[in-house]
Every structure is written in structure tokens, then in C-alpha cells.
A and B are shown apart, each in its own frame.
Chain A
Amino acid sequence: MASPDSATLPAKPAGTPHLVLEGLGKHYGGVAAVESLDLSVQQGEFIALLGPSGCGKTTTLRMIAGLVDATAGRIVVGANDITYLPPYRRDFGLVFQNYALFPHMTVDQNVAFGLEMRRVPRDEVRRRVGQALELVRLADYGARRPRELSGGQQQRVALARALVIRPSILLLDEPLSNLDAKLREEMRTEIQDIQRRLGITTIFVTHDQIEALSMCDRVAVMQAGRLVQLGTPFDIYERPRNPFIADFVGRTNTLRGKVKASGSVEVGPLTMSAAESPGRGEAVLVMIRPHRITIRAPRSSEVDAQLNVVAGRVTRTMYVGDILQYDVDIGPSILHVEQPTAAGPQPFGRGDDVQLEWSARDTLVFRGGP
């Protein structure tokens, strides 16, 4: 796993913001789906709205698209306030979760639709439809009907249809969630390539942290209608702002403890060192990612303030091919531990005494808990 020092942060594109959301809100009756959301997206930036279902990410995207009216705040593109502009005047490309290809039209007709609305001359329509289908590697599929295509192909047609109008902003609403795992991985790279190549400002709504982290320049994590953290994938994963984000973005062990001294937390009878901690005496949640813990046979280690060393006993071993998952009883709690598999040593078995080690930097401490 990359250490913070070696990881390069994706460069944030400089320049004036392209899309700005100011205090954007959507209330249904008394219920807030989205509340005072501020977000500034740079020209050409690929940004993810990440969160569990019901967090307001799709509502936010639909407000940007103009399909849902905002009840508070403003949406600004360049110098124009577009909060109340109807969707058909916004010039954004939109890709839906279910693709929404017109079933009564061929692939060509689907892709040409947006150009016809713009009264583009016929020859140019034909040329640009061809280019767009080539971009998504479906040049020979123009005469087919959407229902004759596989899910992944439909998805690419939807992408071509959204891109052919040369939209100022591309909006993707969970475009990969209806695809199977293998295809999803392929499409991740493909969408990312196309986005980079065209340099189009893109907002990508997803509940899948892997998609968000792997594809996007920045990730906006949403929780209960609010934006709770905005940062690079590295920031979000390594420096989550609260336990919810730590838990939602990647898996984690959660322990309850109390701050003993700065950088030192008591968890039951154990003491763990952490890079950062709240003030002395505070009740805290301690979170450690399973794959950041090293498991080894008991041995005497040198005392290192930056290294947590805890003895435990294996209660369960699961071999998942590329990784080994262990449950290790450390007294106050059971820790999940993940190790990459290797052909060499025999994995630990149930009942084995082991020693767990992890860095203080990998011990995330959050205020909260009893």
C-alpha cells in the first residue's frame, strides 16, 4: 500500500471555477433532501458525489441538470446563474443509471437526437454521430435498436449520446451500477480515458467508493443531505473527517476508547498510539483499516512509539484467493485483519497466538462514542 509520502496527489486544475453550487438546497415538504451545499468545480475537473443511498447525491445531480428545482441556493456556470433555467437550455450531457435510451429509435437516431434539437445540418449530424460512436467503440452498431445491445453497449451509447452534443458539463448518475463486476472495471477506465481526452468538466454520482476514488480528481462525500468532506481520493481515504466517512470509504475496525495523553489512546487494557488525537480524557472512536495491520507470529519487538504492537489469538481464517482475512481476538475486541496471500508460508489457523502490528499513522481517532 502506498505510504502518504510516496503517493502523488492528483493536481487540481487551476483557473476559474466552471460550476459553482452556492448554498444549494432541496426540501420536500419539511424534509431536506439536500441542505446548504457549497461546491466549486474547476474547468475540466472530474468530481465524484459519493454517499450511501438517500444522502442527496442524485438529487444534487438532478438539480444541476435542471430536472429538479432547487428550493434554496444558486447554481452558477461561468458567469451565469442557471438555477431556474429549464433543462433543455442547459447544454449538459446526462447519463442515467438505466441509460434511458429511446427504445423506438436506433442507436444512430438516439445519438443524433441532441444534434437534431440543435438544428445541426444533416451531413454534420451523420459525421458527428459516427465520431461519437467511434469514441465509445460502437461504430458498427448504429442501425441496431437499444434492446439488441448488452448492458455495457447500451451504457456506451448513452455516453455517446450525451457527449455528441459537446456539452459544457457531463453529468453521470450511477452509470456503472447496472453492470456486472468485470464490465464495471472496464468501463471505469474507459470513462476516465474519455473524460481526460475531452477534458470535459464531469460530475459523477456513485455510491461505490472504489469508483469514486479510482476515477475522480476530487471526491465530495455526502451524508444525510450535506457535503461532509471534499478532497482528493487520497485525502478522503487517509484523512477522513469523521467516523462515517472512514467507515463508508473503505472498510475499517472500530474500537471505543479514551484519550490517555496526546497521541495515546486507551482501549480497555490496551494502549495504542495514534498520530493525532483529541484532548486528554475524551471518549473516542479508534479506527484501523484491516489491511494496514500486519499479522505475524509472536516475537519480541523493539519498543517504538510509532508502532502499535498487540498480542491476539486467531478466531477465524478466510482464504479469499488474493487476500487472507483473519479475525483476531485482542481482548477488548475482535480485529479484522487482511493480508495479501503469498505462495510461501502457511496461513495462521484458528487458535494460533499471533502478534498484530500497525503504525500510529494508521490509527484514526475521532471524538465521539460514550
Chain B
Amino acid sequence: MTAAAQAIVRIGESPRTPVSIALLLLLPITLVDAVGFLAPIAYLLRMSFNEATGGGGLRETFTGQSYVAFLTDPFYLGLVGNSVAMSLLITGLTLLASYPIALFIYRAPAHWKSVLTIVCISPLLVSAVVRTYGWMLILGDQGLINATLRGLGIVSQPLRLINNATGVVIGLTEILMPYMILALLAGFGRLDRSYEEAAQSLGAPPFTTFRRVIVPLTVPGVALGCLLCFVLAISSFITPKLLGGGRVFLLATEIYDQAIVILNWPLAATMSIIVLMVFGLALVVYGRIVRALD
């Protein structure tokens, strides 16, 4: 027996060792997360209690001033409402656009399934910035849509599809679709053709079968996809910035402005913490849904 093999046998003899091996294997990612994720969040939390002095100055202290400022200002509260509402809208539209595609892919023959999945997630190979610029070309006053509509004589004035909420919603919906499709496909595991056939044989027309059997069986995928897209939508920054043209005010863009333009880091940190709390709330809702299914 070699020394290594003996060592393995010795490790195997101790009842505690499997746990220590697991801890050992978890150590690298724990360290990376601690340094790269937990520490910055702790720093952010600390920053949100600092005091901003005029002109971008910063004073180390411990004050709830930024929170008070945020929670008493109707503009900021409106931002939260706006961001949540718009993210919910985008999530809903992404779901509507992705569900039929995901269902189609799920039902496709095995050899088509992987091809179609790759086609659907291929937009992820292009950065969101580039895709956003693409949408600016399509949605702009001189863009593809307006040029076509005017060419056909359907409208005389260009439709305002950009530099407003419409543009942000359209752009983000498309950008988030690959994530939604992937999440739906992952959550469709319980779906089986025989359930639909059973429903039909029991007298359920196609739409009733969809409503009573297919939809309930796909709720896990829908919940997962919606959580993912909601979080991505509310934290997205580049797309609202570019397609909103500075006229759409959301938490993410406001954080950027506060941190980079106005240099009020405590307020920016406060808003970041608020966004984190919204995420936490979304997670709680998701957890409730998943538990209700079991």
C-alpha cells in the first residue's frame, strides 16, 4: 500500500474527517466571497451612516441622516415605487415573451432542444451595452421602426420609443429574455406530455389544459425566472441610462448620479442598502411561493 493510500484509509477511519474535507473544499470560495462580497457590503453599510459634507466631502461619523433624507423625500420614495413598478412590468413582459419560447423548446425533439437553447441564449454572448446601442438604432426617431412606419405612411410624426420609460422597458425585456428562458427550462422538469394527454382525455380543451395543468406544473420555473429577472431589472444601470436618455429616474441610475456626479457617497450607499432590502423582500416572496408548492 502506498503512503497516499494509507493516508486515505486513515482519514476514512476518523468519523469527523468528511466534514473537515468539506470545509477545506469550501474554504477558497468562502475567502473570495468574504473579501469580494461581504467586506464591500459591510463597507457600504458603514458608508451609509457617514455624513456628506458639501462639495463631495465626507466625514466619518455615525448618523442616520442619509436614511432620514431618503425616507422623507417624496422624490426618493417615488424612485423606489418607480423602480419596483417598472421592474415588475419588465419581469411580467419578459415572462410573457419567454414562456411560449421555453415551452416550445422543452417540447422540441431532443436533438433540436440543445440547438434551440443555444440560439436563445446566444444574445448573452453580446454585451448588454452593445445590445442597448442596437435598440437605440432600432427605436430612435430615425430608427428602423419609425422609418418603416413613416415609409408606410402609418405615422407622420415619429413615435417616442426612446429616451423614455417605453425604451427602457422594451430594451430590458429583450435583454433579460435569455435568463428567463433558461430559468423556465430549468423549472419545467415536472412537465410531461402524458399529463396534457390525460387532461384532454378527461375532457379538457387545449386552453383549459394549459390553465389547469401546464401552468401549475411550471410554477417553479416561473417563480425562479421572475425572481431572477426582477433582481436583474431593478439593478440594471446601463440600459436605463442609455435608453432612458436621462429622463427615466430609477434607483440604479440615481445611485450612479449620487456616487459619481454629486459625490454624495453616504446617500448612494443608503440607496444601495435600500435596493438590497428590496432584493431580500423578493427572496422572501419567492421562498413563500416555492414552499406553498410543496
Contact = CB atoms under 8 A, between A and B. Distances in A.
Interface of A: 65-67, 86-94, 96, 98, 100-104, 113-114, 117-118, 161-162, 165, 171
Interface in B183-214: 190, 192, 194-195, 197-206, 208-209, 212-213
Contact of A94 (B190, B192, B197, B209): B197
Given A104-B216, A104-B217, A67 B200 contact: yes
A114 B200 contact: no
B216 A117 contact: no
B217 A100 contact: no
B200 A87 contact: yes
A103 B190 contact: yes
B86 to A, nearest CB: 32
A102 B203 CA distance: 14
A88 B190 contact: no
Which of B197, B206, B208, B217 has the largest number of chain A CB atoms within 10 A? B197
B213 A98 contact: no
Interface in B50-78: none
Interface of B: 190, 192, 194-195, 197-206, 208-209, 212-213, 216-217, 293
A286 B24 CA distance: 71
Given A88-B204, A114-B202, 7 more contacts: A65-B201, A66-B201, A87-B201, A100-B195, A102-B213, A161-B198, A165-B202
A34 B281 CA distance: 57
Which of A86, A103, A165 has the largest number of chain B CB atoms within 10 A? A103
A91 B206 CA distance: 15
Nearest to B194: A100
Nearest to B212: A113
Contacts of A93: 201
Contacts of B197: 65, 67, 87, 94, 96, 100
A162 B212 CA distance: 17
B204 A113 contact: yes
A117 B204 contact: yes
Given A103-B190, A103-B217, A104-B217, A94 B195 contact: no
Contacts of B209: 88
B85 to A, nearest CB: 30
A92 B202 CA distance: 8
Contact of B194 (A90, A96, A104, A161): A96
Contact of B198 (A90, A94, A104, A118): A94
27 contacts: A65-B197, A66-B200, A67-B201, A86-B200, A87-B201, A88-B202, A88-B203, A88-B209, A89-B203, A90-B201, A92-B201, A94-B198, A96-B194, A96-B198, A100-B195, A102-B195, A102-B198, A102-B199, A103-B190, A113-B199, A114-B202, A117-B203, A117-B208, A118-B203, A162-B201, A165-B203, A171-B201
A90 B200 CA distance: 9
Contacts of B200: 66-67, 86-88
Contact of A100 (B198, B204, B205, B293): B198
A101 B190 CA distance: 12
A118 B208 CA distance: 12
A187 to B, nearest CB: 19
Nearest to B205: A88
A42 B111 CA distance: 43
Contacts of A87: 197, 200-201
Contact of B202 (A67, A103, A117): A117
A88 B208 CA distance: 11
A17 B190 CA distance: 40
Nearest to A119: B203
Which of A65, A98, A113, A171 has the largest number of chain B CB atoms within 10 A? A113
